[in-house]
Amino acid sequence: MSSGRNSLDGTVAIVTGGAAGLGRAEALQLARDGATVVVGDVDESGTSVVDEIEALGGKAAFVPGDVGERATADALVSTAVERFGGLHVLVNNAGITRDRMLFNATDSEWDEVIRVHLRGHFLLSRNAAAYWRGKSKAEGKLVYGSVINTASEAFLLGAEGQPNYAAAKGGIAALTVATARGMARYGVRANAICPRARTAMTDQVFGPPPETSDGSAGSGGVDPLSVDHVAPVVSYLASPEAASISGQVFVVHGGMVALMAPPTVEARFDTSGATWTAGELADKVGGYFAGRDEPRMFAATEVMSL
């Protein structure tokens, strides 16, 4: 069933939030490229994705559960390892939104979004990392492991109506880099994508798809916000073809992949004395910002022009 060059034959992948939307598209793409897929979701309709994969001639299993719960992470990894013989690819995709301006956000809306997104990514990444480290040590060689996490442009922009979601996604980007750095010695890679895609979770943002596609550049006649633009990128990052790519953050949509640069040092300020004084800070730091464009912040607003 593999598509050829981007072969995942013989690999086992976990995809969370795989019952619908982007997760479903990712699970199906991984299966088409040869992977056996463990689909995780709170929605029991995930069984239909397993049916679709099996209809394609592939192998799959559905594990129900909330990714914010340790038991779900345990069940997903144990299903991959015990039922299918191993784990090679982890796609952390499951998520929710509870959009609210900061001053209106409730404790539960904050906690729930952080739990599902950031804790959910952590639990599965930790379990997968422990499995890969143990396997590498037992076999005395590097293993094959690829983690693809799901961040968002919300963290790059500091989305004002999504402080909980932006914070969770920023945490996921940091977790991705830490995973890549900490697991490289065992042969494991980790990358994050910021997908701009039309799903049930984003329907309040992007609305319904166009009735007819205009076939604009790069879209090939497909809705520019279709999940079908994102799934092949995820499968590529999971594959041996992307062996040299790790610790990166990509913005993905509409036939485009943009590699984000890490933060850079814009300016350095040093005191002339033993310690800072209020006047010196006002002169050196405050003077630097005098006349500066106020909306210019620690935010990658240029992504909106992609």
Which residues are part of the catalytic machinery? Answer: 152, 165, 169
Pairing of strands 256-259, 249-253: antiparallel
Could you tell me which of 160, 132, 136 has the C-alpha nearest to residue 146? 132
Sheet containing strand 256-259, strands side by side: 60-64, 36-41, 12-16, 89-92, 145-150, 188-195, 249-253, 256-259
Return the CA Rg of the chain: 21
CA atoms of 306 and 299, how far apart (whole Å): 15
Could you tell me which of 191, 174, 180, 285 has the C-alpha nearest to residue 235? 191
Tell me which amino acid residue 90 is: L
CA atoms of 260 and 302, how far apart (whole Å): 11
Could you tell me which of 258, 41, 61 has the C-alpha nearest to residue 153? 258
